[in-house]
Amino acid sequence: MKTKTICSADSPEPAVSGAPAPRTGGSQSFDAVLDAAHAEQSGERFEIKPLSASPTEPLSRPVSGTATPSLKPAAGAEAAYREAMRKPAVEPGGWAKYKDDQLLRNPGGRHYFPEQKQVIENAPQEKSFFSRIGKDLSSVFGNMKNFVGNLFLGSSFLYRDRNNAIKEGHQSGMLGSVAGFFKNLAGALSFGAFHPGEKAAPAGFKNRLKYCASKLKDAFLGNALVGIPSAANHAGTNLVLAGLHLAEVMPDATVGNFDAGRKITTSIFDNGHVLVEYITDVAPFGDAWLRVHASNVRKLQAPVLYNLKMPEHYTGDSRWEYVRNTPFRKTIETLGALLADAAAIGLVGQTGFSGNRRLQPE
């Protein structure tokens, strides 16, 4: 088999022996490819190579074997390509993160499997009648289990850490908060002589006094004012979610047999799940309500502003540790919590509850 070389240049050059004369103009490279294709049909092989700037370099070069020459990108282009491949997918927006956090926290999301700690999009079992009904009933059972847990010693929930990994957390129940109140109160009144969870009692009068103040704060603010109402809020959330996903059984058993029906059902009940979580979050003593009303006396940061300045990921405080506190979340939770405050004030006014009312004669 003969080998001929086609020179791809934009200026006329002497024709190589046995090769067609190169054409001038901008279409020369394309014509060279056509010549190569024509020669291949006639049993000849062509090697396309750029012309050398040096007139002494031979224009033709024998091709050894049948290996096809590889094209290597420039070093800079290759580095840029590899850097682009290392970058993660497009960062989800605030709504996507918020919805994902809310569907993770309690059982119920279509693509969320708390037992496996996984999120599986378009799982094959979604098309199975019994798998869909089983998933709904499992969500009902899971929420009822959390309801009972939040009434007593607490319940578990899922969240994403700063590395986007799904982790498990635990929240205290009402009975657990009551037990914690008396435990902290006993530690405070005994000035550390009773110190559950501590390796040793505080030494010295000053340290015992600090221990007493700390435990009183934990008892009245942490357990009584926040812990018990928050546990009641969580229990109410689980009860409503259990009813919501019980209602999902019927559409999943009927229209859920069709792709369009499943999409509509998933959209309605997943968004309904998120709405329930949001309303109970911004209600008084809900998780979002506590974040919005948090303050920092040492840094002179008032409620609302303190939460708005918090980063997306923050550890060391359970109010922020288990959520991605994005600007979107801060905005909707701040508005919702302030509206909840206004509604609570209006409700108190409507009921006539006031310590300054004068006694009316009968």
pLDDT recorded at residue 352: 61
Tokens standing for residue 320: 């922020």
Dist. CA 45–CA 31, nearest whole Å: 16
pLDDT recorded at residue 39: 53
Dist. CA 241–CA 234, nearest whole Å: 11
231-270 pLDDT per residue, tens: 999 999 999 999 999 999 999 999 999 999 999 999 999 9
148 and 7 share one domain: no
User: For the stretch 167-187, what's the b/e string if a residue is b when 16 or more beta carbons lie within 10 angstroms of its beta carbon?
Assistant: eeeebbbbbbbbebbebbbeb
133 and 202 share one domain: yes
Asked whether residue 61 is domain-assigned, the answer is no
Asked whether residue 75 is domain-assigned, the answer is no
Is the pLDDT at 130 greater than 90? The verdict is: yes
pLDDT recorded at residue 9: 42
Asked whether residue 302 is domain-assigned, the answer is yes
CA dihedral 267, 270, 276, 279 (to 10 degrees): -70
DSSP code of residue 159? E
Average pLDDT for 188-213: 91
Q: Helices 228-247 and 174-189 meet at what angle, rounded to 10? A: 170
120 and 11 share one domain: no
pTM over 0.85: no
Interacting residues of 267 by C-beta distance below 8 A, sequence separation 6+: none
Is the pLDDT at 178 greater than 60? The verdict is: yes
Is the pLDDT at 351 greater than 80? The verdict is: no
143 and 225 share one domain: yes
Total domains in the chain come to 2
Dist. CA 253–CA 248, nearest whole Å: 9
**Domain extent at residue 114:** 94-349
pLDDT recorded at residue 91: 60
232 and 141 share one domain: yes
Distances (CA, A) of 49 to 7, 36, 354: 6, 12, 93
49-91 pLDDT per residue, tens: 454 444 444 444 544 444 445 445 455 666 655 554 444 445 6
172 and 28 share one domain: no
Phi, psi (deg, nearest 5) at residue 285? 70, 15
Is the pLDDT at 19 greater than 60? The verdict is: no
142-156 pLDDT per residue, tens: 999 999 999 999 999
